[in-house]
Amino acid sequence: MAHRSGFACILGRPNAGKSTLLNALVGEKLAIVTHKPQTTRNRIQGFLNVPRKGKRPAAQVVLVDTPGVHKPDSALGRKMMVEVSEALGGCHVVLLIVDVSGAASQKDDFVLELAKRSSAPVLLLLNKIDLIEKGRLLPLMDAWRRRFDFRDILPLSARKRQGLEDLIDAVVAALPPGPSYFPDSDLTDLPVRFLAAELIRERVLLETGEEVPYAATVKIEQWEEGPKLTRIAAVIFCEREGQKAILVGRGGTMLKKIGTQARLEIERLLGTRVFLELFVKVRAGWRNSRDFVEGLDWRRQMLDIARLAGGQQEAREPGKN
């Protein structure tokens, strides 16, 4: 049986459980998860190497988690939707994920329309079945079946890891034959710097309320990796002095709490001790600055770092001055 490979785009409304599903399938926390909508802001790739089993060939599935589909009202929101369309454009199968615990909404229609426009087959995933009565499932599946010719409809619980084996079988069946895109030993192409920034942002999302989570972003400013200790300095940007006051907290207590918890998670990720320094800065209206938002993209940041390193090397090489 020929090996299969391809890209599977996880598409859905905010909070549907896309990132939970990515993490559950890959078996590692690659994407941050919170109960707040619009947690994910970039597309995140996780690699699932599937062994051959019975009639199922071996395969590499490149899962692509995407930001929740919403009507953007800022440069950040527009960038998030570009991430969605780029992921959709290059995929071999669409995993349209719907939260069945909530009421049906017109917003589901909007996401369904996006999925329909893709030329790839669409698998419909009915997620969070742990939250509904069993009797509701069949009528729900029937109602969805009438709306579109889905390749398959699969009930699951990403959080409880139910229904994942059937999902993997269906995804592999939808992929074309081909070799792996990435080395078998890798789980993601995300740089650890980005993962660390996200773990800090996750703590901000969980510890603060109202508009602060949405107005906050995290940038790594310094990263020095040693065998036993990694020194990291990061800035949490927000949009107003009032938000900064909340993020710092009385006597710095909030920032300390965010820092301590994020540090523990980053230490687990890196397997070294971490010295984490956090700063809070106000950048008024950053969500509406295209330049600033583009600068948050890790692909762009990695290019900048490579360029900088190249520049320094040139400067050090004798005879080139």
Ligand X SMILES: Nc1nc2c(ncn2[C@@H]2O[C@H](COP(=O)(O)OP(=O)(O)OP(=O)(O)O)[C@@H](O)[C@H]2O)c(=O)[nH]1
Sign for the pseudo-dihedral over CA of 240, 71, 205, 26: negative
Identified binder of ligand X from the candidate list 158, 195, 212, 280, rule CB under 6 A: 158
12 binds, among Mg ion, ligand X, none (CB under 5 to 8 A by kind): ligand X
Q: Where does this chain touch ligand X (CB under 6 A) — which range of 42-50, 153-161, 176-184, 244-252? A: 153-161
Q: Where does this chain touch ligand X (CB under 6 A) — which range of 52-60, 128-136, 193-201, 219-227? A: 128-136
**By C-alpha distance, which of 47, 55, 51, 65 is closest to 6?**
47
46 binds ligand X (CB under 6 A): no
Please, which residue, 33 or 280, has the CB nearer to ligand X?
A: 33
> CB 125 → ligand X: shortest distance, Å?
10
Please, which residue, 162 or 288, has the CB nearer to ligand X?
A: 162
109 binds ligand X (CB under 6 A): no
Q: How far apart are the first and last CA of the chain?
A: 58
Within 8 A by CB and 6+ apart from 83, the residues are 41, 42, 43, 66, 67
20 binds, among ligand X, Mg ion, none (CB under 5 to 8 A by kind): ligand X
Identified binder of ligand X from the candidate list 5, 42, 45, 127, rule CB under 6 A: 127
CA 176/CA 5 separation, integer angstroms: 6
Report the half-sphere exposure of 69 (CA within 13 A, side-chain side). 23
Identified binder of ligand X from the candidate list 3, 28, 38, 90, rule CB under 6 A: 38
Query: For the purposes of burial, counting CB atoms within 10 Å of the CB of 262, is it exposed (0-12), middle (13-18) or buried (19 or more)?
Result: buried
Q: By rule CB under 6 A, what count of residues binds ligand X?
A: 24
| Cα–Cα separations (whole angstroms), residue 124 to 39, 137, 144, 156, 304 | 22, 13, 9, 10, 39
16 binds ligand X (CB under 6 A): yes
H-assigned helices in 208-252: 212-215, 241-248
Identified binder of ligand X from the candidate list 4, 8, 9, 12, rule CB under 6 A: 12
> CB 280 → ligand X: shortest distance, Å?
23
Within 8 A by CB and 6+ apart from 29, the residues are 23
User: Can you give the binding site for Mg ion, defined by CB under 5 A?
Assistant: 18-19, 39-40
Tell me the chain's radius of gyration from C-alpha atoms: 21
**By C-alpha distance, which of 133, 111, 120, 124 is closest to 155?**
124
Identified binder of ligand X from the candidate list 104, 131, 284, 303, rule CB under 6 A: 131
**Residues at the interface with ligand X (CB under 6 A):** 12, 14-20, 33-35, 37-40, 67-68, 127-128, 130-131, 157-159
